[in-house]
A and B are shown apart, each in its own frame.
Chain A
Amino acid sequence: MYQSRVIPILLCNLEGSLVKTQKFKKPVYVGDPVNAVKIFNDKEVDELIFLDITATAQGRRPNIRYISEIATEAFMPLCYGGGLSNLEDIRAVIKAGIEKVSINSALEKDPDLISRAADVLGSSSTVASIDVKKDFWGKYRVVVRNSSKSLSMPVLEFAQMMEQKGAGEIVLNSVDRDGVMEGFDLTLIEEISKNVGIPVIACGGAGNISHLKQAIQAGASAVAAGSMFVFQGKHRAVLISYPSQTELAGL
């Protein structure tokens, strides 16, 4: 039986601490990444996505030593994103023990980076990460650089361009739903996944298992979540968790 992937997304900052944001803002400290990876090993998670959310903003390249420390402990597929703007760094990240790279801000000026990465790594290791935010008029916009800049190309067109350039997957991230835990943006998921041929990983808004189910029903091939797996209860106490295989059955 095939089961859709459920993927924790972990965010880290310059100091190498894990954080969690709301609507891409207000980062809260949630712990140590290597420790978190060990816990997720024990919980046998399907996959992990690791994003350094400060690298691009600070003009930093990926911290290879730190990435390799995490990779050594990860016995599940690992995707890394953050500060990836050239092939050399992408190669270094893969060599450090990562399976997939997630490219985001660099796509604004250099969408062909996806093609160059896919040529070297293969499509299945090349992930285009698309952050989407509604503008003042309620129109979906692709945003980059931690949601500080929006692009003019419509979201669907951007997603299709990524597929055509060789991306093996799309992480579709709703900025408005980030950390809110009240459900995914199903309209957005449906529109994109219906019109691209590659898997779409829905992200932003998951608070419980029925939210995950809704996103899959809307067409997502996999679902990702941050808050749901690092916070517990309405006071958002930090506690790393992951549903059991029985709870996930039927997704």
Chain B
Amino acid sequence: MQIQIRTFGSMIVIVDYDMGNIGSVYNMLKKIGRKSEITRDLEKIRQADHIILPGVGAFDSGMEQLEKFGLVELIRHKALVDKTPILGICLGAQLMLEKSEEGQKAGLGLVKGEVIRFQLPAESKLRIPNMGWNQIEKVKSSKLVEVLPEQPRFYFVHSYHFKIAQSEDQLLMSEYGYSFCSAFQHENISGVQFHPEKSHKFGMALLRNFTEAI
């Protein structure tokens, strides 16, 4: 799907690598008055001022799809060399780390860390996947989460979670059986485990913060 809306100045690109429903990110950006483009066109991504890497599915299929469309090196270059603000959502965020217990493939390696499966004690009543709304706790300050409505909560669907190597890269923590990192940030690179595009005004605020960040 290619949706063409050209804007002068800031261009937000939603990377389309055929992993799940990504139209909802576009819809929410539109709702908050941001024009974006869903694309896998290398030239458009090269020119982007903001990149969103969404995605739902398995780790290895996600990497395979990025490889198939020739996106791996380009995303790495945009994030690490051009320092373009980039936001990963759910699987998209997991792919930004180095590896995952879910698969064999190496991740994009934009931030040091890995993805591990929830380890709940056998007597726990909690189910996997963790599916539902959860609160967040800020463990550092960042433009991405600076302005949020009161009592922020976000919608999560996942069986695996981030394990960030350097604690200063941890941005938000949440609790599901135990405390886990639900968002990370390293310079221009951020990732959230939850779905801001499905989290009402809380998600709108986060996406607004992201698209305003320079």
Contact = CB atoms under 8 A, between A and B. Distances in A.
Nearest to A222: B132
A103 interface: no
Interface stretch (B4-12, B40-48, B74-82, B199-207): B199-207
Nearest to B23: A97
17 contacts: A3-B133, A4-B132, A75-B197, A75-B199, A75-B200, A75-B203, A76-B198, A97-B21, A97-B23, A98-B21, A99-B21, A99-B198, A123-B129, A125-B20, A168-B131, A169-B131, A198-B127
B70 interface: no
Chain B: interface size category:
20 to 34
Given A76-B155, A77-B155, A97-B21, A5 B203 contact: no
B167 interface: no
Interface in A200-226: 221-222
B131 A44 contact: no
A199 interface: yes
Interface of A: 1-5, 41, 44, 46-47, 71-72, 74-77, 94-99, 121-125, 168-169, 197-199, 221-222, 245
Contacts of B198: 75-77, 99
The DSSP consensus for interface residues of chain A is loop
A168 B131 CA distance: 10
Interface of B: 1, 20-21, 23-24, 27-28, 31, 56-58, 126-127, 129, 131-135, 151, 155, 157-159, 175-176, 195, 197-201, 203-204
A123 B176 CA distance: 19
Contacts of B204: 75
B23 A124 contact: no
A198 to B, nearest CB: 6
A71 B200 contact: no
Nearest to A75: B200
B200 A95 contact: no
Nearest to B174: A2
Contacts of A46: 132-133, 155
Q: Give 7 nearest A-B pairs by CB, closest first.
A: A97-B23, A124-B157, A124-B129, A44-B200, A77-B198, A5-B132, A199-B127
B175 A1 contact: yes
Given A76-B155, A77-B155, A124-B157, A199 B131 contact: yes
- Among B28, B131, B201, chain A packs the most CB atoms within 10 A around the CB of B131
Nearest to A219: B125
Nearest to A248: B133
Contacts of A44: 200-201
Given A97-B21, A122-B56, A72 B27 contact: yes
Nearest to A1: B135
A168 B31 contact: no
A97 B25 CA distance: 10
B132 A3 contact: yes
Contact of B200 (A76, A97, A168): A76
Nearest to A221: B127
A122 B23 contact: no
Nearest to B157: A124
- Among B57, B126, B176, B200, chain A packs the most CB atoms within 10 A around the CB of B200
A226 B7 CA distance: 42
A44 B131 CA distance: 17
Contact of A71 (B23, B134, B199): B23
- Among B1, B57, B132, B133, chain A packs the most CB atoms within 10 A around the CB of B133
